[in-house]
Amino acid sequence: MKGICILGATGSIGVSTLDVVARHADLYKVIALTANNNIDVLYEQCLIHHPEVVVVVDESKAQAFKEKLKNSTVSDIKVLSGVKALEQVATLDNVDSVMAAIVGAAGLLPSLAAAKAGKIVLLANKEALVMSGTIFMQAIAESGAQLLPIDSEHNAIFQCMPAGYKTGMQAKEARRILLTASGGPFREMPVDQLVNVTPDQAVAHPNWDMGRKISVDSATMMNKGLEMIEACILFDMNPDQIQVVIHPQSVIHSMVDYVDGTVLAQMGNPDMRIPIAHSMAWPERFDSGVEPLNIFDVGRMDFHEPNLERFPCLRLAYEAINAGGIMPTVLNAANEIAVEAFLDERVRFTDIPVIIECSMKKFEVKVADTLEIILDIDQQARIAAKQIIEELNR
């Protein structure tokens, strides 16, 4: 039995992870679940999985959750609150694997804590690597932790790498990664109509069931930009070795091009339980609960180059990783603020890349070799992005 801690249990990745855990209750025991403030979903999860401890980050919600547990069948569950508690549960002695599924920069510190503690880190939080790639990978190497990617694309790449491959290594036989993208809901919308896109339209992803922030990132293709940066770090490749390919059917989840001309692709239905189950069972495999892919239903597969006029966020991501240093952190922070403003209907969809680019121009490139520098730049970039939003609204 492996003990698992799920950071971000009430989000889409957390829910899918618990579905896989329930199918393999003889192999996994839920030790800890965390949520920001969604105590209703968390309560239902506790009734089913009976964790030893839960974290509700919002302190007022944590108190309400304690009251909710009092007269329940799971009244013995320990309830913690605050951001530091996330790191605490990610490093518990009886936790073997940590599903790092907190969206955004908020997931960095607990994910890094798990890495430093030598856990099996199931990484669904791409922002942790985007912000602190060198530091994160160094922590993995020094502690002997195992890093397994959960994003469908990075998990696909990992599956297509040579036998015995570990993240952070350079596979000399692999010359290029083909990183697939659905293109989101606006891949065919005329560019001049994007200015009128609403939040409800942006979160209606054609293939994947995701949270609101990630869905907007998919619509702008910033999600793919962040994934490109993450792929550079996970697989020790240069940005010019990562080619983004729009594949609307989302059947091929990514490909690896080898020096002998072989291209290996990982295929499957668009369901996050596949990469979750793969990483939880690795190096073996077990049932994910996903229906087998019917290739006859797929019928055809299309591939296109992304239009950077339509998707300027992808261009900005390449610029950030090529600049290096603090720029990926600035990119990520400004994007989080811009997307939040868009979802709150304070800026337009087409303002998102403008806010990010203006924010990036406010910073000189410098080395990001300590966690203190990264966290400071993250806060500075958020302030800069908020100021730009204020200027746009004058």
* Residue 71 lies inside a defined structural domain of this protein: yes
Name the residue type at position 267. Answer: M
Q: Which residues, at least 6 apart from 327, have a Cβ–Cβ distance to it below 8 Å? A: 319, 320, 321, 360, 363, 365
Q: What's the rounded Cα separation, in Å, for the pair 283 and 184?
A: 32
Domain presence at residue 109: yes
Residue 133, in any domain of the structure: yes
In a domain, 236, yes or no: no
Give tens-digit pLDDT for 43-96. 999 999 999 999 999 999 999 999 999 989 999 999 999 999 999 999 999 999
**Is-above-0.85 flag for pTM?**
yes
Report the number of distinct structural domains present in the chain: 1
- Pairwise CA distance, residues 199 & 285, whole Å: 38
Query: Which structural domain, as residue segments, surrounds residue 122?
Result: 2-149
User: Does some domain include residue 350?
Assistant: no
Averaged pLDDT of the chain: 94
pLDDT-derived band at 205, boundaries 50, 70, 90 = low
Q: Is residue 104 part of a domain?
A: yes
100 lies in some domain: yes
**DSSP track, 62-92:** HHHHHHHHHTSTTTT-EEEESTHHHHHHHT-
Which residue intervals of 237-326 are DSSP H helices?
273-281, 295-298, 312-323
Tell me the CATH number at 106. 3.40.50.720
What tens digit of pLDDT does each residue of 207-261 get? 656 678 888 999 999 999 999 999 999 999 999 999 999 999 999 999 999 999 9
On whether residue 67 sits in a domain, the answer given is yes
